[in-house]
Amino acid sequence: MATEQTSIPDPLTHLPDGWPKASLGAIEAMLCAPGQPFEMQAETIRGVPTRTWKNQPPSLPALARMARAAHGDRTFIVYEEERISYEAWFRATAALAAELSELGVRRGDRVALAMRNLPEWPVIFFAAASLGAIVVPLNAWWTGAELTYGLAHSETSLLVCDAERWERIQPHLSELPLLGPVIVSRAKGELASPAIALESLIGAPPGYAALPDADLPEIAIAPDDDATIFYTSGTTGLPKGAIGTHRNILTCVMASAYAALRSVMRRGEAPALPEPKTILTVIPMFHVTACNSTLMGTLAAGHTLVFMRRWDAGQALGLIERERVNITGGVPTIAWQLLEHPDRARHDLSSLETIAYGGAPSAPDLVRRIQRDLGAAPSNGWGMTETSATVTLHVAEDYLHRPESCGPALPVSTLKIMNEDGTRELPIGEVGELWAAGPQIVKGYWRDPEATARTFIDGWVRTGDMARLDAEGFCFIVDRAKDVVIRGGENIYSTEVENALYAHPAVTDAAVIGLPHRTLGEELAAVVHLARGTSATEAELQDWVRARLAGFKVPAYIRFHPETLPRNANGKIMKKELAPLFEREREAAG
């Protein structure tokens, strides 16, 4: 394993005199002491002793009831002209839970959810979860075939989707013999069986407040009961379903609040519980970051979520001004587009306090410009679907001081660096595979015991990321062992795209790599070798992939190699030797 320098890079900006006023350990001892909000306790999870948050809600329905009681009259969701309070959301959730029960949904049934960010999304999610069902949030960017795979693999019995997703799925119904009722939101025109209009069951969001005052069903749900299946692709190219429990998901409730208080105490200021904020949420809710981290933290703290139909930087600037947004972000792409939009100076962005992102590499210059040009604190973190989102958080001065790090682990989480075969932990400063443990690590993969056994070991998840830890516990992601490109926060697994290219009759050799991109983090590129006597153009192959996979998985550039691609002694393509073919694009990306 390689060893890197462990010295801390020069900070990007001037830090307060005497900063930090307290060490991470001292802050943790204070905030997590008995009787404090972040008190921890030891519990045994699947046979492994694990630190957990003592004050974490025990289940999703428990969180829903707490949110209603604490924040009932506050605005929960803003979407275009629709404004839904916590009380209205809860009434709709209870009403839909009763309807789903009437339709036969029971504990352990899979209820899939496929739609863009709409006010209905958290209603559907919590209604199904309150019945003890397993919610399956599907990627709304997927094609009809990809959505069908998720529905079939998860053995979903009931689907709730928006009209756009229904159009994609409907032609594939014959491939889904286990699928029963389909509930469709915001459909235009009449729906044919088996589809039911969501509005016929609970009305439209503007009317949620007038629904009857009812509670969620009284169903006993334990913290370690199954709650979700989020799909994450593997190196085989086929998506795997990560099984999350109620405890896994709700561990994120405490994360952002803890990081915010830690930042305050690092400055030497008196700690105080954070106040409700307004968050412009542009990450799709089918990602664990938006669902497990943003949504759950919002319900606990009483934040307001502002949704957009689709991301548009110009519209986002107007929303930030109109709604007095305090927090936004998601992926570095979004931060770059806000910074560089020609209309930025025309909008009052003074309400912005934090620009938070993760999921893609970010340039140190972005960290500097967030503070300098927007007057906001930069924030990032690290997690993955298998960790139910947040494991590390990196905020404000700590981030400015270590712009190449993704931060330290949360108090309930543990990181370690292991050698290649996973038999030996490496010392501080050495690069190896990052392993993570904690109460947010999922149970395993749905219907895939072999992949589960390879990835989850005695409470640890093998992340596939190459990283190092410094002496204070800050994590630095160096590279990814898994063959994945992260474009604008979306994981693109190379094998899946390569398989699509190989299906073309002219392609005999193919490799996909990621090129650095200033705003997207990475851009997808492919190198192919064509069979003798055949021909294909870049546009033709792009169209070929586009017809089989979601649009964000289409290579931006395709180069043609005159010979079969270079391989090592084990027969694996040496992808690092392909990058020079894209030198022009790399230079343009800066």
Same domain, 363 and 439: yes
Residue 8 domain-assigned (yes or no): no
Same domain, 286 and 372: yes
Same domain, 423 and 499: no
Residue 165: which of 550, 485, 563 has the closest Cα? 550
Same domain, 454 and 492: no
Long-range (24+ apart) CB contacts under 8 A made by 494-500 are 495/235, 495/236, 495/237, 496/233, 496/237, 496/238, 496/549, 496/553, 497/524, 497/526, 497/545, 497/549, 497/553, 497/555, 498/237, 498/526, 499/237, 500/544, 500/545, 500/548, 500/549, 500/553
Note the pLDDT of residue 332.
Answer: 77
Residue 231: which of 445, 81, 484 has the closest Cα? 445
Same domain, 356 and 382: yes
Which CATH number does the domain housing residue 557 bear?
Answer: 3.30.300.30
Specify the 3-state DSSP secondary structure of 56.
coil
C-alpha distance across the termini of the chain, in Å: 29
Distance in angstroms (rounded) separating the CA atoms of residues 38 and 22 = 17
Same domain, 283 and 368: yes
Q: Return the structure tokens found at 223.
A: 């913290």
φ, ψ of residue 300 to 5 degrees: the values are -70, -40
Residue 13 domain-assigned (yes or no): no
Same domain, 365 and 418: yes
Domain limits for position 505: 484-589
Q: Return the structure tokens found at 418.
A: 């292991």
Same domain, 51 and 195: no
Distance in angstroms (rounded) separating the CA atoms of residues 116 and 140 = 6
Distance in angstroms (rounded) separating the CA atoms of residues 262 and 522 = 31
Same domain, 44 and 175: no
Per the structure, how many domains does the chain have?
3
Distance in angstroms (rounded) separating the CA atoms of residues 454 and 448 = 10
Residue 396 domain-assigned (yes or no): yes
Note the pLDDT of residue 9.
Answer: 40
Note the pLDDT of residue 519.
Answer: 84
- Strand duo 48-53 + 75-79: pairing: unpaired
Rg of the chain, C-alpha, whole Å: 24
Among the candidates 221, 244, 273, a domain finishes at: 221
Helices (H), 271-382: 288, 296-301, 313-323, 332-340, 364-374
Distance in angstroms (rounded) separating the CA atoms of residues 482 and 465 = 7
Same domain, 270 and 291: yes
Distance in angstroms (rounded) separating the CA atoms of residues 538 and 556 = 9
Which CATH number does the domain housing residue 176 bear?
Answer: 3.40.50.980
Residue 407 domain-assigned (yes or no): yes
Residue 4 domain-assigned (yes or no): no
Among the candidates 157, 190, 221, a domain finishes at: 221
Residues in the chain with pLDDT values less than 70: 1-14, 233-237, 359-364, 480-482, 568-572, 584-590
Residue 10 domain-assigned (yes or no): no
Which CATH number does the domain housing residue 257 bear?
Answer: 3.40.50.12780
Same domain, 201 and 254: no
Distance in angstroms (rounded) separating the CA atoms of residues 472 and 474 = 6
> What are the tens digits of pLDDT across the range 35-51?
999 999 999 999 999 99
Residue 226 domain-assigned (yes or no): no
Q: Return the structure tokens found at 192.
A: 């044919």
Among the candidates 425, 452, 480, a domain finishes at: 480
Residue 63 domain-assigned (yes or no): no
Same domain, 253 and 304: yes
Predicted TM-score (pTM) above 0.85: yes
Residue 505, preceding peptide bond in cis (omega within 30° of 0): no
